[in-house]
Amino acid sequence: MGFDEKLLQEYYADSPDDISLEDVDMARVPRHVSIIMDGNGRWATARGLDRSQGHVAGVESLREAVTTSVRLGFDVLSVYAFSTENWKRPQREVNLLMHLFATTLVKELPLFHQENVRLRFLGDLEALPEETRLVFQRGLDETADHTGMVFALAVNYGSRAEIARAARELAAEVAAGEREAGSIDADAISDHLYTKGLPDPDLLIRTSGELRLSNYLLWQLAYSEFYVTDTYWPDFTRWDMLRAVRSFQARDRRFGGVK
């Protein structure tokens, strides 16, 4: 995606001492940035608040991340919002998250229209409450014609389940005589993942300092650069995104080869 120089300069005015817009090469920003948004509960607990307040605060950071990604010219921003394992959390917290998904999406639709953002979902949405599914479908319908950045929200997503689903679909095609087993290669598998048609992430950001993938995009992250920050997600700002991009641009990406 392109970027608006004037908007970008205004957006990144008043920089902190350690980072500024001049520290990144706008010609080499990653196409696809993916984020594991972690630390909402710990952010709230550290402040003596209920965990639910951390999730509410995390919505504000996500709004800023979307705007920041548009300003920086990313093609895709994907975020890990709710995993297949998150159903194990207390029912009250799960209910709150489902409600937040629905209400937040409705509230943010004007932003998606303003920024020409196209919405996409990764994961099995059939298990979600009807209210949430209907709102998600509304978001898909209303942004389907947008031509700007893709914002992909991973909800009820688990990478192992995604890969198993792709294997079942490919096996069914072989059984139906629609393809030869020998034709199944990496591209065929990619075409049966939720991320079909999207570039693999160039950069994965994980907040709160955890050093694991948590069953997220295991196939797609094969050659992604990782950036881990101790910052809890509700405290993640446009400046943290700039720090991550600066770190990405300092890497020597060889993709298994030698330079």
What is the C-alpha to C-alpha distance for residues 92 and 90, in angstroms, rounded to an integer?
5
Residue ranges of the alpha helices (H) in 193-237?
none
Q: Which residues are catalytic?
A: 38, 86
What burial class does residue 163 get, using C-beta atoms within 10 Å of its C-beta: 0-12 exposed, 13-18 middle, 19+ buried?
middle
DSSP line for 85-123: GGGGS-HHHHHHHHHHHHHHHHHHHHHHHHTTPEEEEES
Instruction: State how far the Cα of 219 lies from the Cα of 196, in Å rounded to an integer.
Output: 12
Runs of H (alpha helix) within 18-176: 40-46, 51-72, 91-114, 130-143, 159-175
Cβ 128 vs Cβ 156: under 8 Å:
yes
